[in-house]
Amino acid sequence: MIRTQVGIVGAGPAGLLLSHLLSLEGIESVIVESQSRAHIEERVRAGVLEQGTVDLLNEAGVGDRMRRQGLVHHGIELRFGRRGHRIDFQELVGRAITVYAQHEVVKDLVHARFTAGGQIFFEADSVSIHGFDGDDPRIRFRHAGEQRELACHYIAGCDGFRGICRPSVPAGALRFYEKVYPFGWLGILAEAKPASDELIYANHECGFALMSMRTPGISRLYLQCRPDEDLAEWPDSRIWEELQRRFQTAEGFRLNEGPIFQKGVTAMRSFVTEPMQYGRLFLAGDAAHIVPPTGAKGLNLAAADVRILSRALAWRFCTGSDERLRRYSEICLRRVWRAQHFSWWMTSLMHRFNQDSGFDHRRQLAELDQVTSSRAAATVLAENYTGLPFQLPGEEL
Ligand code: APR
Ligand code: PHB
């Protein structure tokens, strides 16, 4: 039997950052993760960090590599009608974003946990949680062939959308809100110099496309596809042809092409769990909510959740009062719904919808015209994209 203060299920960005923030507050935690360390450190995910996330990682002392290798961007381009229009975040809201891959954040956090003597059980299987409706929470799992039990005061469910924590809550205690989109993104990583210094979001009659990057020599590109798209139908030549079509401009813009070394399809959904807590179980990150990737909010929401949770737990262990833990869900959900709205809005603005008679596309072009010509409209986009302040009014924890 292992004893700790907080038992954490999942070593994604939410679980790792929570464990790290708790240790800075002098609180012990143990993480139980079903995958191997190599797997979580290599898993390809998104890569845009809001200013608030960057600040949090820096303040927590895990920002060294991000400061050296992250690419700071002061704006993005919206491309439609074969023309590019820049949204200047710096000028509109005085903020920036940082492009730094999620698995690099994960590597930095795993390193920080081990350096501080933190405990992570990788490759745990048959993970289950118990007793969180009373005052004796437990995490049971098998590790290296042995059955283990972790006794803790609280459990943090940071095990992603397909984890076991959320489904362990008795039926009817939580409410779920969901929207599934009729499309997905086919994403690639290519050894090709990004054709622009900033991200390009393209609305094209054939569907959405996004140009992002990982380093000055590696492009990250996405194109809208069917949610169940078969990658076998997408040889590299077809991917490049379709991407070039969607990014075309009147001035003859061309993406730089190069060897593709990773391909994948992601289906898109919006999902929220309310409340994000049941008894002594607290859900954080993708375990509690999913956003479509168009607004680049997934990782940033996870960071915001665990920031609030670490403070509320610190208050509880320091003063004995669970008053702040009781407000955890309400505080997180306000930001979550704001991010849901923004992600849905960006998604509906940029994608091609099935059975569009042409009306939706014309409506999108009119809205894009407004966003790129009205300072007020552009400011709303810039404010949301770079991230709401980490402390919204009323969130003083
Ligand atoms: N037991 C233990 N660990 C589990 C289990 C389980 N039954 N099920 C899942 N996990 C682990 C996964 O292997 C993964 O490492 O939980 C972790 C969840 O990590 P993420 O899916 O990355 O979720 P989260 O940490 O909330 O990160 C936020 O932001 O950019 C978005 O979706 C993207 O992952 C990203 C998310
Ligand atoms: C990425 O770089 O992977 C990325 C960037 C912006 C998004 C989504 C993904 O909106």
Q: What is the mean pLDDT of the segment spanning 48-75?
A: 97
d(CA 156, CA 280): 8
Q: Is the pLDDT of residue 116 over 80?
A: yes
Can 100 be counted among the known catalytic residues?
A: no
Please name every residue paired with 223 in a beta bridge, in sequence order, or none if there are none: 186, 209
How many C-beta neighbours within 10 Å does residue 309 have? 31
Catalytic residue among 100, 181, 201, 328: 201
pLDDT for position 393: 57
Instruction: Assess contact for 133 and 22: CB atoms under 8 A.
Output: no
- What's the CA gap between 200 and 328, in Å, rounded? 36
Could you give the dihedral angle defined by the CA atoms of residues 21, 22, 23 and 24, in that order, rounded to the nearest 10 degrees? 50
Task: Identify the three-state secondary structure at position 233.
Answer: helix
pLDDT for the residue 32 = 98
pLDDT digits (tens, 9 = 90+) for 167-222: 999 999 999 999 999 999 999 999 999 999 999 999 999 999 999 999 999 999 99
Report the nearest-CA residue for atom 8 of ligand 1: 163
Given a contact cutoff of 8 angstroms between Cβ atoms, the answer to whether 193 and 256 are in contact is yes
Best CA proximity match to 91, nearest among 380, 379, 284: 379
351 labelled catalytic: no
Burial class (CB in 10 A: 0-12, 13-18, 19+), 168: middle
* Phi, psi torsion values for 64, nearest 5 degrees: -55, -55
Dist. CA 168 → ligand 1 center (Å) = 16
Q: Strands 277-278 and 218-225, how do they pair? A: unpaired
Q: State which of 49, 185, 186, 212 you would mutate to test the pocket of ligand 2, scoring each by most atoms of that ligand within 8 A of its C-beta.
A: 212
pTM score, whole prediction = 0.96
How confident is the model over 260-315, as pLDDT tens digits? 999 999 999 999 999 999 999 999 999 999 999 999 999 999 999 999 999 999 99
Burial of 199 (0-12, 13-18, 19+ CB in 10 A): buried
**Cα 379 to middle of ligand 1, angstroms:** 32
73 a catalytic residue: yes
Identify the residue whose C-alpha is closest to ligand 1 atom 19: 12
In angstroms, what is the span from residue 159 Cα to ligand 1's centroid?
4
User: 127: Cβ below 6 Å to ligand 1?
Assistant: yes
The DSSP string of 105-134 is HHHHHHHHHHHTT-EEE-S-EEEEEE-TTT
Residue 250 DSSP SS3: coil
> Ligand nearest 40 Cα, by number?
1
| Residue in 55, 8, 17, 35 with CA at minimum distance from that of residue 302 | 17
The predicted model gives 238-256 an average pLDDT of 97
**Each residue of 345-358: pLDDT tens digit?**
999 999 999 887 88
Q: What is the predicted pLDDT for the residue at 390?
A: 67
For residue 64, the surrounding DSSP H or E stretch is helix 64-69
Per-residue pLDDT tens over the stretch 24-37: 999 999 999 999 99
Q: What is the pLDDT of residue 241?
A: 98
